[in-house]
Amino acid sequence: MGTEEDEVYIGRVIGTVVSTIKDKMYEGRKILVVEGLDLEGKPESKYWLAVDVVQAGVGDRVLVLDEGNSARQVLGEEPNGPVRAVVVGVVDEVEVKA
């Protein structure tokens, strides 16, 4: 935990989390459980509890942002909130050549 590099990753939404008592930056926001995928689409052990801003759902392949400054910029409002991971896109297609 805490050793990941700051990156954007491809992941798959595998579930949701319900939390009542939480930091105010998470209030009114959906929290998704996203597992990391390799380029062949196979699940990795890496995962995130990520705030959703694109209405992603379970089964969707998504872009996960895992970097604090960008996350705060995306979420706006509270400039100092403790959020790192945000689902910022739903992936339609990935093509890898060679």
Residues interacting with another protein, by CB under 8 A? Answer: 1-2, 12-23, 26, 31, 33, 35, 43, 45, 47-50, 58-59, 68, 71, 80-85
Distance of CA 14 to CAs 19, 26, 64, Å? 17, 19, 13
Residue 49 beta carbon to another protein: minimum distance, rounded to whole angstroms: 4
Number of Cβ within a 10 Å radius of residue 36: 18
Residue 76 beta carbon to another protein: minimum distance, rounded to whole angstroms: 15
Identify whether the C-beta of residue 14 lies closer than 8 Å to the C-beta of residue 58.
yes
Q: How many CA atoms lie within 13 A of 70 on its CB side?
A: 11
Residue 29 beta carbon to another protein: minimum distance, rounded to whole angstroms: 11
H or E element at residue 75 = helix 68-75
CB nearer to another protein: give 18 or 96. Answer: 18
CB nearer to another protein: give 4 or 89. Answer: 4
